[in-house]
Structures are given as C-alpha cells and as structure tokens.
Amino acid sequence: MTDVLYMYPQLVRVSFTNIAEKHVVQLRKCMTVETLEIKHTYLVHKHYPIIATHPVFWAFTHPSPTVLDLRLKQLEHVYKHCDALIGFDVADSDRIAQFCADLLNEYYDCVIVPSNASREAYIRSGVSIPVHVIPHGIDDRLINANPSLEHVYNFDLRLAFDYKCNKGYKYVLFFLWHSGYRKGADIVAQAMQIVQKERNDVLLLLKLGELADPYLRMFRNVKHIAIKGWLSHNELAFLYQLADVVVCPSRGGGFELNALEALAFGKPTIAHAHGCFADYAQWLITCKASYCHTVIPHNHIHIGGGWQILPNDLASKIMHVFDNYDKIADRYSKIAPQVRQQYNWQRIGKQLCDLFNQYLRNSSTKR
C-alpha cells in the first residue's frame, strides 16, 4: 500500500516544482510515495493514508468566484480520498486572505511553510491547524556542479564571462524571474543607476525567466547583461561564481532561495533582516528597511505588507563591498560551508520524514 500521494505542478515547471521534487526524493527514503500532477485531481481514485498538495492556494483558489467554486470541489474530491491532507505553501506577505485561512482550517490537517515569517503570517491570519516550518535546502546537484566554460551553453552567460575576462567588469547579480515589484526590481534599477554613476566597471547581471517581467523595462538606463531562460545546474553554478555581489531586496517572499544559494557559493549577499530573511540574516549584509503596506498589488492571496529598503542604502552597500572586496569576500568564503551544512537536503529530509511519519502513525484515527 502506498503511504503518500504527493501532488505538485509537473506539466508546467514553476518554483513549487523544484522544491516538490526534492521533497519526493527525501520522502522516498522513509516511505512509499506516488506523484501526480496537481491539476489532475480527477485521477485520484483510491484511498491514501496521506495526500500532500504542493502548493495549496495556487492550485485550489482563484479570484473569480465561479472558478474558485470549481477548484474547491476538486479539493473536496482529494480530501475524501485520504486520512490526512498535508499542504505546502508560502506567505509572500505578512497576511493571507481570510478565505485562504478558512480553506486550510476546513480541509487540511497541517500546512508546511519554509520560514518562520510565513508561519507567523498564517497564524496572524487565523490559521488554526498546525503550521510547521521546514526550510528549503541547497541542491546537491548545484553544489557539486562543474561550473567550467565547456559546460556553459547559454550565449548570454558566455558573453558575461568574456566581458569579465577581457574588459574587467565586476558584476552585481539580481534574479528577476517574476513578481518584479515583490522582488524589488524598481529598487535595484534605481540603486544600480547610482552605482554606475560612480563606477563604470560595474554591470548588472539580470537573471530572467522564460517570460519577461513587466518591471524589466525599468532597467533601460542600467548597463546590464540579461541571462535568459532555464539554466542547467552547471550553468547556474557558473552564474553564481561569475557574480561578485548578489542583491535580493525583496519586499516579501516565503524563503528567497536565491539569496541562500548565493551565500552557499560564498558570495557577499545584500538584503534586509526582516520577513523570511530573518531566518538567515546573520550571514547577510543587511540594509535598513521600513514597513510597506503592499507586497503584491491586487493579489487575492497575499494581501499583507512587507519590508522595503531605500535605493540609496542598497547602492551604498554595493559600493562598500567593492571598496573592501578582498576582506569581505574572504569572510563570505568562510560562511559558505556553514550555509551548506545547515541547509543541506539530507538534514531537511529527516525533518520531513519525521513529520510525515507522525501523521502516518495517526492517519488511521483521523476520520
């Protein structure tokens, strides 16, 4: 008998997909796990001790009442086919909508989030079921990658390497996959204009997804190289090694894995000390931040606020790093092993197995 059905996005690769795949690998070390595309709820036809959905709100809510009703019926179908329903999700702001809290309380036995800030946001929003914190980890395939030029096929990445070698450019790396306002794209654009007025040897490496974010146009007056599309593990490791500084001024977010990956590669990483960053702020170069009332405008799930830093402060921190680079880089080379040890997937997988085994033992008495 299968212990767990783990449902997550498989037809479309999103950030949830990457973490879900790591969870499945870890859970299969301690129990039997089947997987299913999260949109294929109609294929759930037998009973399971545990069904996990990753995520919850992206799959089973919608701003349209008509579509929301349909998705809740899909969730109801899943709920009826398990003893325990476990959800994985995040809080991109300091509050989630009331109907999201109600959904969790009605259907789920617990929800797992990646940061203490997410947990606090759920409890603040009225979630009464257990909210567990299990962080994301650093992918071993990334840490053990071979980031040599012969394994790099992305043209923009090869161009950036050439410019660094032959023109002596220094690079500030910023990830703009999506959610430009939440990620602080406007803050980075303004900060880099300040930096580039003072230093003509600093360029922005702008990591983009497959689709251009609307905030991309804010970088029209910033000297940058755009690295587009999905990268292999070798190429992503190469990108981190190419960067001199990584900036992550997100107003909100559930975990912000790119900041942690940058630390694992020994890169000076600039953010703030609030929200999800609080869990690993001891390793960050932090800017002062003030509360802002919106993280994702017009979002039906993440309706709360977050933290915003000033572009001048970010620019000042970037220039301070470059002015003292050898000393700061040496300190971050010593931080990298600590980050890799604390956030390795084997350690996190044990937490995941312990928690699932707890619900597995209690599943037969649930309903």
46 lies in the same domain as 184: no
Question: pTM for the full model?
Answer: 0.94
- Do 296 and 182 touch, CB atoms closer than 8 A? yes
Residue type, 65: P
74 and 188 inside one domain: no
Contact 233, 265 (CB under 8 A): no
CA–CA separation, 134 vs 116, rounded Å? 9
- Does residue 116 register a pLDDT over 60? yes
Nearest one of 182, 190, 174 to 292, comparing CA atoms:
182
Residue 354 has pLDDT above 90, yes or no: yes
Residues 220 and 289 in one domain: yes
**Do 96 and 215 fall into the same domain?**
no
pLDDT of 284 reads 98
**Domain match, 333 and 357 both:** no
| The pLDDT value given to residue 366 | 53
CA distance 271 to 286: 5
Closest-CA residue to 296 (of 66, 24, 91): 91
Q: Look at residue 362 and tell me whether its pLDDT is greater than 60.
A: yes
Asked if the peptide bond before residue 337 counts as cis, ω within 30 degrees of 0, the response is no
Average of pLDDT values for 221-235? 93
CB 90 within 8 A of CB 121: no
Which CATH number is 305's domain given?
A: 3.40.50.2000
* Number of domains, the chain: 2
167 to 4, 32, 243: CA distances (angstroms)? 54, 54, 15
Same domain for 196 and 89: no
What is the percentage of the chain residues whose pLDDT exceeds 70? 98
What pLDDT score was predicted for residue 183?
A: 95
* Whether residues 152 and 246 fall in one domain: yes
Question: Within this chain, do residues 80 and 53 fall inside the same structural domain, yes or no?
Answer: yes
Q: What is the mean pLDDT of residues 33-51?
A: 97
CB-count burial class (<10 Å; 0-12, 13-18, 19+) for 263: buried
User: Do 23 and 149 sit in the same domain of this protein?
Assistant: no
Alpha carbons 287 and 308: distance in angstroms, whole number: 9
What do you get for the CA distance between the two ends of the chain, in Å? 18
Alpha carbon 77 to its chain centroid, in Å, reads 29
Instruction: Specify whether 195 is located in the same domain as 286.
Output: yes
pLDDT digits (tens, 9 = 90+) for 144-199: 998 889 889 999 999 999 999 999 999 999 999 888 899 999 999 999 999 999 99
Same domain, yes or no, for 289 and 349?
A: no
Its domain, for residue 94, covers 4-137+345-365
Tell whether 244 and 289 lie within a shared domain: yes
Give pLDDT tens digits for 59-100: 999 999 999 999 999 999 999 999 999 999 999 999 999 999
**Side chain identity at residue 287, one-letter code:** C
